[in-house]
Structure 1
Amino acid sequence: MKKINKIGILVLVFFSLSLAQPKGAIAHLQEHHQQSGQLSLHSRQTLRDRAGYAWQVVLFPGESPSDPRWNLRLVGFPGAVEVAHPQPLTIRAAEGMDWSAADVFRDRPPAISVGQYDFTEVMQHLESVDFLIVQVPLSEDRTLSLKIPPFLIAEWQQLARSKSSPERSHSPHPSK
């Protein structure tokens, strides 16, 4: 009987540990129908800051097939953060590269916890970075750092490739 209990406990411990292990991230690109009726793909993930607040991180291409721009929208926890407008976003790569992304919303954000930035220049260098640190300008001259992990960089790379692919990029009808 003791041997059966020990085996049961070992199975339970093994099962619990297997659930606790991080799984490989799968790119999860989402389709979005724009006002023009065209289909666009975007990346949407939730990341947590050091205080434990969730941030929605959304990367999406410009509004038309000929628009080369990329936008990064950061949505913070309402009431917990106030994004400083029109301050630029600062981006740092582990490989020593730094960028600045202009505030797209400037003085008219949809909410005080929302920022959107022109991410076009950074997208041109994604193939050569492992992870990014995004420094979000907050009110009262504060900044908040969000780490963009490797799985999300890979998802963004996939998104960039899909935009340049003529069969997927901005087709008027999604393929089913």
Structure 2
Amino acid sequence: MNSICFNGLKIHPLRWLLAALICVSLVVWTPLPAFASLTQIEEYPGIMLYQSRQTLQDQNGNSWQAIAFKRIHPEGSSSVSLRVVGFPGAVEFDRTQPLTLTTSMGETLTAKDISSEISQDTPAPANVGEYDIQLALPQLQAEIPLQLTLPTIDGESVSLSVPSTAIQEWQTLISY
């Protein structure tokens, strides 16, 4: 077999090929660093806001924005909520009904509508709902996917599928 010369050293082609395969394998199969999509901002002086943004799909394939928030107030109290935003004009939330969270194992939890707290100056848009998930979130098992059922004015509920990765990210908010 012919040898390949590299800096005066003779390398057999099979060894060279094996070395090249090892190098390529290390590059291809080395895990990439994970990037958390949690953001932290000072919302107001002394009020820290942590948030996770997810895009979720409903039963018709429409995309929705889901933003989980944790606010920490200067005196140390905190709140955790979930804001769900649909396409304007496509839906009007029924603010008298809670959000229903149903696991794939059949466990059901509810979260109170707190949309009136989004802004003190103007009412929340009809396509935006915000729910207090502080008590429900710790009860969820991060490995089990979730279904959110959003009540609407017309009586037709909207169902959003929440993958386990989103639940895990939302639960990390609790630790801040």
- Give 1:31's match in structure 2, choosing from 40, 48, 56: 40
Deviation at 1:77, TM superposition (A): 0.7
- Give 2:54's match in structure 1, choosing from 38, 45, 57: 45
- The answer on 1:125 being equivalent to 2:139 is yes
Deviation at 1:38, TM superposition (A): 3.6
- Which residue in the other structure is 2:126 paired with? 112
**Aligned-partner Cα distance in 2 for 1:72–1:82:** 17
Deviation at 1:63, TM superposition (A): 4.4
Deviation at 1:136, TM superposition (A): 0.4
- Alpha-carbon RMSD: 2.6
Deviation at 1:26, TM superposition (A): 5.0
1:79 and 1:113 in contact (8 A); partners too: yes
- Which residue in the other structure is 1:84 paired with? 94
**Aligned-partner Cα distance in 2 for 1:49–1:158:** 24
Aligned residues: 140
Q: Which consecutive residues of structure 1, in runs of 5 or more, have no partner in the other structure?
A: 1-24, 164-176
- % of aligned pairs identical? 35
- The answer on 1:56 being equivalent to 2:65 is yes
Q: Greater share of strand residues, 1 or 2?
A: 2
- The answer on 1:147 being equivalent to 2:156 is no
Q: Larger relative contact order (C-alpha < 8 A, sep ≥ 6)?
A: 1
How big is each residue's C-alpha offset from its partner over 1:81-138, in whole Å with a ceiling of 9 and x where there is no partner? 1111121111111233211111102597420100001101111213465111100001
Please identify runs of 4+ aligned residues in structure 1 that moved more than 6 A. none
**Aligned-partner Cα distance in 1 for 2:35–2:103:** 22
Which secondary structure state, in structure 1, belongs to the residue aligned with residue 109 of structure 2? Answer: strand
For the pair shown, the structure with the greater C-alpha radius of gyration is 2
**Aligned-partner Cα distance in 1 for 2:44–2:163:** 31
Q: Which consecutive residues of structure 2, in runs of 5 or more, have no partner in the other structure?
A: 1-33
CA gap 1:153/1:78 in 2 versus in 1, 3 angstroms: same
- Scaled by the length of structure 2, what TM-score is found? 0.69
- Scaled by the length of structure 1, what TM-score is found? 0.69
